[in-house]
Amino acid sequence: KAGVTQTPRYLIKTRGQQVTLSCSPISGHRSVSWYQQTPGQGLQFLFEYFSETQRNKGNFPGRFSGRQFSNSRSEMNVSTLELGDSALYLCASSLGSTGYGNTIYFGEGSWLTVV
């Protein structure tokens, strides 16, 4: 059974540009959560999608957005990139929505460097 797949794995962007990251969950999983990981802050929750609906959002500016498609695949977008957006972006999928003790499984992440 394939795991969570994230693309691209590595990318370099310039300040002011925008970026789109993609996540394919484990087959049959309907929930996708996104996290930003930086050395000082650990794993910071961005948002969760379940059945194409955003169920929750973390404390990030509106430049961070996401969506989920009918096949459960998800994308997140960051507009007007800043140097501080450099991080590992992790996607995690689960069978059911979080908040009910469902286990989430992480992908290997997308390393974003903003220069």
Partner 1 sequence: QQPVQSPQAVILREGEDAVINCSSSKALYSVHWYRQKHGEAPVFLMILLKGGEQKGHEKISASFNEKKQQSSLYLTASQLSYSGTYFCGTERMNRDDKIIFGKGTRLHILP
**Least distance in angstroms from the C-beta of 16 to partner 1:** 29
**Least distance in angstroms from the C-beta of 74 to partner 1:** 15
> Does residue 25 have a cis peptide bond before it, meaning omega lies within 30 degrees of 0?
no
Overall size of the chain counted in residues: 115
Nearest Cα to Cα of residue 5 among 24, 31, 28, 33: 24
**Least distance in angstroms from the C-beta of 34 to partner 1:** 11
Residues near 99 by Cβ (< 8 Å), separated by ≥ 6? Answer: 55
- CA 104, 56, 46, 7 dihedral sign is positive
Phi, psi values for residue 6, rounded to 5°? -120, 140
**Least distance in angstroms from the C-beta of 56 to partner 1:** 4
Tell me which amino acid residue 50 is. F
**Residues from 39 through 98 that contact partner 1 (CB under 8 A):** 41-43, 45, 48, 55-56, 58, 90, 97-98
Cβ proximity to partner 1, 43 vs 115, nearer residue: 43
Cβ proximity to partner 1, 30 vs 55, nearer residue: 55
Q: Which residues bind partner 1 (CB under 8 A)?
A: 4, 33, 35, 41-43, 45, 48, 55-56, 58, 90, 97-101, 103-109
